[in-house]
Amino acid sequence: MTTVPFFDLSAAQASLTADLESAAREVIASGWFILGRQLESFEQDFAAYCGVDHVIGVASGLDALILVLRAWKQQGRLQAGDGVVVAANTFIATIIAIQEAGLKPILVEPDPATCNLSVRGLTSALSQKPKAVVPVHLHGQLCPMPGIMEICRRENILVLEDSAQAHGAILEGKRAGSFGHAAGFSFYPTKNLGALGDCGAIATNDAEFTKLLRSLRNYGSERKYINNHQGLNSRLDEIQAAFLKAKLPHLDTDNAARRSVATRYMNGIRNADIRLPTVSAGAESHVWHLFVVHCADRDALARHLSDHGIQTAIHYPVAPHRQECFQSLLGGLSLPVTETLHDECLSLPMSPVLTEEQVEHVITAVNAYNASATLHQVANG
């Protein structure tokens, strides 16, 4: 039987083994491991790729978001307790970052079709006088950024794009991370651009802000042992920067390969019990970090696919406001659109290295899923 892993990381980087080994050897030979020329060089390459003036490497995607919000407070552009709008169905890190920075998350329902923050969702939160918004480009699809930016310019709201799932996505000629006042990226190994460990980055066009962020990621010091701010230790290691520099030139090819898998799924899957993803703008506005379908009995669909050798995943099984850690903060909220999305979502295998045979196998198995047959079996014990 054809088996299909959800995401085979070794296969995904097999063709780059020699490049990664030589990148590692170069760093080892240099004897310089933190804040050196590998990082500077990757920061320049990634800034040019994203179409922004500055990139600041940090230790994780979560830290990228926390550091931007803390830096805005440091600059007096945000005050403790200010409201920050975010779609309620995001990955937990986005909400943790807002909390960790001493700000107040304002959760809004996403557009159920795209799973992203909509102009309408943002507008509905304006009565709460938010000072910032974090549009999350979930699953790899850009939020409607032109409309969001128009509102935010008018209302004087700061915009931090959570671009952790959308490296390279393009809308109206601009890439993810180049729309807002700042953006956070993650290079967690399975992201569209992934390192061989944890790290992340901030993108921005603001030179003063960049200076502050470079200081904050390094204990708040610009000159060694002279601390102007209370910062963090959140640096992107030289060895990871060297790996990322080797992988960046392949990002567009990888995203195109993901897009071709997605197109085959979109054209091949025909099942009234399964809702396919919605692409709201041009094909390039989605880089398919995940291919998420929705199904009333998501668990039955997952079992059916598993019986056919197909591994799936759930992003994410529990909505942030339903998580134990946020019960006192957010537990009182009722967000039916979000809750349904979390109950019904299932991520199909997606990576740049799925074979034609594997994709066909997934399509055939998904099309063979019969919700009423499953219910019948359950009814008959």
Binding site for ligand PLP (CB under 6 A): 60-62, 90-91, 93-94, 136, 162, 164-165, 186, 188, 198, 200
Q: Give the pair of three-digit tokens for residue 186.
A: 């993650």
| Closer residue to ligand PLP, CB minimum distance, 152 or 164 | 164
| Closer residue to ligand PLP, CB minimum distance, 67 or 158 | 67
Q: Are 167 and 287 in contact (CB under 8 A)?
A: yes
Closest distance of CB 9 from ligand PLP, Å: 15
Closest-CB residue for ligand PLP? 61
Q: Which residues pair with 220 in a beta bridge?
A: none
| Closer residue to ligand PLP, CB minimum distance, 138 or 246 | 138
Closest distance of CB 118 from ligand PLP, Å: 17
Where helices occur in the chain by DSSP H, the ranges are 9-13, 17-30, 37-50, 61-74, 92-100, 119-125, 145-155, 207-216, 238-247, 251-268, 298-307, 327-330, 336-344, 356-368, 371-379
| Closer residue to ligand PLP, CB minimum distance, 177 or 300 | 177
| Closer residue to ligand PLP, CB minimum distance, 91 or 369 | 91
Q: Are 215 and 37 in contact (CB under 8 A)?
A: no
What are the distances in angstroms from CA 117 to CA 89, 90, 123, 242, 260? 9, 10, 10, 34, 25
Closest distance of CB 211 from ligand PLP, Å: 23
Closest distance of CB 357 from ligand PLP, Å: 29
DSSP string spanning 261-282? HHHHHHHH---TTEEPP---S-
Closest distance of CB 96 from ligand PLP, Å: 9
